[in-house]
Each structure stands twice: as structure tokens, then as C-alpha cells.
């Protein structure tokens, strides 16, 4: 991030430089990201060229292959046609595209076995090295983040958005692959194992090994296997990790070795959050997709403009979207829905069966607009699906799982909404959003992590939206006492 006058006076440090103890740093960083402090605006950081320039490998286009890598990537991570500057149609972090995909391909894929780096702009895979001997059929995709563009835009609020965006990318890959392959997803594998498997150095060693290249932080992995392929007791990631390091990226001007303190702190946090020494192989959950999803639906996903989100949904559609969010992945955050219409209220899924359970009466949307970086359009949206939890003193495993799972689930819920003909828009930035305290519970225990704004199609006969002047009768609709963040102009990406 370019220095301001204030930032220039701060000590400059790299990823490996001594910073506060990691648990204390994480707790302080979580509180800061949730605070009303507005990040200092900085000059736009242009996206750097794709760092791996090895020859691209053509898709084999063999109808007999089990895993069509071209199709999976085209429907998940490829830059959509006709949308210059956007790599994915449904970003959770301001369309800054921090997520990169490293492909670990075994036999049975439409590309030859080996390690690859995927370029979403050109939809090409660049070979970086061979596969291990005896690798089982199928593919791994290791998802990493490069932090600097997002930090330049969002400052101290960037690192939760990097986690959310990784969850969205994992969901996109899983949904695209689940039609023709068995898909497993891990959101908690050890970052060191993921780095080694992808042929990357650990983040603190990056500049020493590859000077002038920007560090990448692995946060999640997706596995695609031919249907019926047995799952091993120990993940084959260890066989990939035993290989020598894969080819290096091209050094680039500006991928600095001494970043400003805010970027260094973000990198330090990401490295700490990704560590999982107790269970390095991670937990692998099967991924499924709702029956309504087709390839055409996945290709049609877009973040809708706010003006298309003002019609309230009926309860049946809302129940289906909520069920999708709750079902993938397990052990994720809790879910609540703020509904507009003539009788606005907060709902959760009914315990033990379908339907909605009333949590509070009143219009919470104006408060949600205040909490969501001042995006006033949220106050008039039809409904807002909310992922919440992650206490203020949560350990790193909970912080990681809460945000990655929320991003994954919102990505799946948005795809399902698209299949049902419902416009939607993810909302990633939340400040002072202590939902539990607003509902009268213990403060600091139940924070909003992510959201998905939803609307009924304009042609649907829905209940009229609640007039803006209607007072909110419950604590859920009472704004916090701190000053509001500046409003975001309708239709623009969220920016603090």
C-alpha cells in the first residue's frame, strides 16, 4: 500500500519481522476490522501481470477423461466474457481478485499430470512441474491469496475479506465439479502442507527464496475425483509435498520486500491463521450442489445491482436458500435472515424441520445498512441472509473456519438463488455488527461475518416493501451509538 504521511513514520517490516504475539495480534486485528475506524484511502494498486509465464498447456479435449479441468475452471474461476477488470462475477471483497489457484493434477484429467498455475484472464494453465509417482486419479486445487491489492483498498479491514473471497472461490470450484466428479473440500488443512504440495515456499521464506515476487498464503483446497474412487486414509497431498519446489514466479517491480506495516501485519496474520499443526491434513467434507443448478446457471451468476434487490421474497424461497447456506459446509457459522415487506422481522431456520422460526419483530435492515460500511441500499433490499458467530476472543481455527465457511456457504446460496431466478449480492464488510448484543444476548459473542442480499424478481407478486419511515420496534433494528461509515453510492463495489 502506498504510504501516507502518517504511515511513513511507522516502522516498516516484512512477513518474518517480529510483530506482537500472534494470539494478541489476531484479537486486536479482529476488533480493529470490526471497529468504525475508516481505512485511509490510498492510490489504486493496479493488478500485476500473472506471475507464472511457463508455456500454457492445452486441454486434451479427450471425451474419455474423468475430470474435465477446462470445464470446471471455466465455470468457476475464469474471467467472465464482457466484464473487463473482473475475474469472477461474484466477488466478496470488492472485485479485487486476491485468490489464485494452483492445480495438482494426477491421471484421468484433461491436462497431463503435474503442477500448474491457473491464469483466469486467459483461461490457461501454466505447467510448473511434474506429478509424484503413483499419484491417484483426479485433481487438487490449492487456493492461495495475494494480499497487497486488497490491503491497498480496504486497509485494516482487508484480511477477513481475503478469507471470505477464498471461501467463495472454493464454493465455485466445488459446484462446478460436483456434476461429473466426487468433490471434497478442506477449509482447515495446514498452510505449510498446502504450500509444500503446491510447490511454494512458506510465506516467511518467500522473499529469501523468490526475491521480488509477492508471497501467497494457502487457505483452502478442493479435491476432484472420478466417481467411485476410494478415499485414502491419508491425503495424497503429502506425496505432492515431498516433491521438490515447483518453478518460480517472475519477479515483478513493486512486489516489495519491505511492505508498509499494515500489509506486513496482514501477511503475518494470514500465515498464523493458516497454521494447523494439530491436524495438518485437514478435514475433508463432501461437496454437493442443489439439484436446480446447471452449467448455464453457474455461468449466469452475477452480483445484482442494488436497485434489483428491493422486492421481498416469499418464505418458501427464503427457506430453500437458508437451507442451502446451512448445509454447506458443516460446522460453519449460524444463520439468520432479515426480511422486509409489510411485516419485517428476523428469522432463523425452524428447529427440526423446514420453515422459518421468528427471532425478533421489526425492520433490522436500516441497522444492517449502517453496519455494512454504510451501504444504504441494504435498508431497502428484500431480504438479507446473515452468517454470524466468531466471538471477539475466538482462536485462529475458529476465525479461519467462520470466515471461510461463511464465504463458501454464501457462494453456494447465491448460486442456488440464481437457479431460482432470484437476484442477489454478497456483502463482505461489516463493522460494529454485534448481532447478539443487538438482540439482548451477551456482547462480543455473536458477530455478523458475511451476508447475502436477496430480492424477488420484479415480475413476482410480492408483499410491498416496508416504507422507509417505519420505526424499528426491536433492538435488532436499533443502530449502534458509534458514528456511521460513509455511504456507498448505489451500484458501486463496497468501499469503506
Q: CA separation (Å) from 43 to 3, 4, 9, 109, 155? A: 9, 10, 18, 42, 12
Give which of 285, 267, 390 is closest to 328, Cα–Cα.
285
Q: Is the pLDDT of residue 401 over 70?
A: yes
In the three-class reduction of DSSP (H, G, I as helix; E, B as strand; rest coil), residue 336 is classed as: strand
**pTM for the whole thing?**
0.88
pLDDT score at 152? 85
Q: Is the pLDDT of residue 468 over 50?
A: no
What lies within 8 Å, CB to CB, of 492 at 6+ separation is: none
pLDDT score at 23? 73
**Cell of residue 340, nine digits:** 422486509
pLDDT score at 97? 76
pLDDT score at 475? 36
Which H or E element spans position 451? strand 447-454
pLDDT digits (tens, 9 = 90+) for 451-466: 999 999 876 444 444 4
pLDDT score at 396? 94
pLDDT score at 197? 98
pLDDT score at 425? 94
Mean pLDDT (whole number) for 67-94:
76
pLDDT score at 234? 79
For the packed helices 261-274 and 22-33, what is the interaxial angle rounded to 10 degrees? Answer: 110
How remote is the C-alpha of 153 from its chain's centroid?
16
Work out the pLDDT band at 87, boundaries 50, 70, 90. Answer: low
Edge to edge, what strands does the sheet with 334-339 contain? 356-361, 345-349, 334-339, 383-389, 447-454, 424-427
pLDDT score at 12? 30
Of 137-151, 249-263, 338-352, 366-380, which range is least confident? Answer: 249-263
Average pLDDT, the chain: 83
What lies within 8 Å, CB to CB, of 258 at 6+ separation is: 12, 13, 14
Judge whether 373 and 485 are in contact, CB under 8 Å: yes
pLDDT score at 457? 85
Q: How far apart are alpha carbons 434 and 478 in whole angstroms? A: 12
pLDDT digits (tens, 9 = 90+) for 153-203: 889 999 999 999 999 999 999 999 998 899 999 999 999 999 999 999 998
**Cell of residue 493, nine digits:** 463495489
pLDDT digits (tens, 9 = 90+) for 231-290: 887 789 999 999 999 999 998 876 665 678 888 999 999 999 999 988 899 999 999 888
For the packed helices 22-33 and 396-419, what is the interaxial angle rounded to 10 degrees? Answer: 40
pLDDT score at 464? 42
Percent of the chain with pLDDT over 90: 61
pLDDT digits (tens, 9 = 90+) for 287-316: 988 878 999 999 888 889 999 999 988 999
Work out the pLDDT band at 347, boundaries 50, 70, 90. Answer: very high
pLDDT digits (tens, 9 = 90+) for 432-441: 999 999 999 9
Work out the pLDDT band at 389, boundaries 50, 70, 90. Answer: very high
In the three-class reduction of DSSP (H, G, I as helix; E, B as strand; rest coil), residue 125 is classed as: strand
Work out the pLDDT band at 14, boundaries 50, 70, 90. Answer: very low
Q: Is the pLDDT of residue 83 over 70?
A: no
pLDDT score at 340? 93
Pairing of strands 99-105, 114-119: antiparallel
Backbone CA torsion sign across 354, 357, 363, 369: negative
pLDDT score at 13? 39
Amino acid at each position: 500500500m502506498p504510504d501516507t504521511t502518517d504511515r511513513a513514520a511507522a516502522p516498516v517490516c516484512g512477513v518474518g519481522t517480529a510483530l506482537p504475539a500472534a494470539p494478541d495480534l489476531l484479537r486486536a486485528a479482529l476488533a480493529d476490522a470490526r471497529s468504525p475506524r475508516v481505512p485511509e484511502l490510498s492510490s489504486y494498486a493496479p493488478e500485476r501481470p500473472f506471475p507464472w509465464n511457463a508455456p500454457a498447456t492445452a486441454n486434451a479435449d479427450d471425451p474419455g477423461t474423468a475430470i474435465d479441468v477446462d470445464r470446471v475452471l471455466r465455470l468457476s474461476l475464469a474471467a467472465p466474457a464482457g466484464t473487463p477488470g473482473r475475474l469472477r462475477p461474484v466477488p466478496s471483497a470488492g472485485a479485487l481478485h486476491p485468490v489464485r489457484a494452483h492445480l495438482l493434477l494426477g491421471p484421468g484429467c484433461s491436462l497431463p499430470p503435474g503442477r500448474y498455475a491457473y491464469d483466469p484472464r486467459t483461461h490457461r494453465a501454466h505447467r510448473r512441474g511434474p506429478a509424484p509417482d503413483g499419484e491417484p486419479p483426479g485433481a487438487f486445487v490449492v487456493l492461495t491469496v495475494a494480499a497487497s491489492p486488497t490491503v491497498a483498498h480496504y486497509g485494516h479491514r482487508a484480511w477477513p475479506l481475503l478469507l471470505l473471497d477464498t471461501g467463495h472461490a472454493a464454493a465455485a470450484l466445488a459446484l462446478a465439479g460436483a456434476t461429473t466428479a466426487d468433490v471434497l473440500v478442506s477449509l482447515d488443512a495446514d498452510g505449510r502442507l498446502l504450500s509444500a504440495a503446491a510447490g511454494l515456499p512458506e510465506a516467511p521464506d518467500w522473499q529469501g527464496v523468490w526475491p521480488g515476487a509477492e508471497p501467497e498464503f494457502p487457505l483452502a483446497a478442493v479435491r476432484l475425483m472420478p466417481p467411485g474412487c476410494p478415499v485414502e486414509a491419508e491425503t495424497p497431498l503429502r506425496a505432492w509435498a515431498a516433491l521438490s519446489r515447483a518453478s518460480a514466479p517472475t519477479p515483478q517491480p513493486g512486489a516489495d520486500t519491505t511492505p508498509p506495516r499494515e500489509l506486513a501485519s496482514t501477511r503475518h496474520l494470514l500465515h498464523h491463521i493458516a497454521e494447523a499443526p494439530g491436524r495438518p491434513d485437514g478435514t475433508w467434507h463432501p461437496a454437493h450442489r442443489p439439484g436446480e443448478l446447471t452449467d448455464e446457471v453457474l455461468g449466469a451468476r452475477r452480483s445484482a445491482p442494488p436497485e434489483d434487490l428491493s422486492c421481498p421474497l416469499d418464505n418458501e424461497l427464503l427457506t430453500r436458500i437458508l437451507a442451502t447456506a446451512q448445509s454447506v459446509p458443516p460446522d460453519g457459522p449460524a444463520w439468520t435472515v432479515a426480511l422486509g415487506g409489510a411485516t419485517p422481522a428476523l428469522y432463523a431456520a425452524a428447529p427440526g424441520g423446514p420453515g422459518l422460526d421468528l427471532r425478533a419483530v421489526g425492520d433490522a435492515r436500516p441497522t444492517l445498512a449502517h453496519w455494512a460500511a454504510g451501504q444504504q441500499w441494504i435498508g431497502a433490499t428484500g431480504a438479507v441472509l446473515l452468517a454470524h458467530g466468531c466471538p471477539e476472543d475466538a482462536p485462529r481455527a475458529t476465525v479461519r473456519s467462520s470466515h471461510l465457511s461463511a464465504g463458501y456457504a454464501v457462494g453456494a446460496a447465491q448460486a442456488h438463488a440464481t437457479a431460482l431466478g432470484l437476484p442477489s449480492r454478497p456483502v463482505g464488510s461489516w463493522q460494529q455488527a454485534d448481532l447478539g448484543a443487538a438482540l439482548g444476548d451477551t456482547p462480543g459473542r455473536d458477530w455478523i461475518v458475511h451476508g447475502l442480499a436477496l430480492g424477488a424478481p420484479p415480475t413476482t407478486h410480492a408483499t410491498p416493501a416496508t416504507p422507509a419511515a417505519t420505526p424499528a420496534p426491536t433492538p435488532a433494528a436499533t443502530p449502534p451509538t458509534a458514528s456511521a461509515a460513509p455511504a456507498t453510492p448505489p451500484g458501486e463495489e463496497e468501499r469503506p
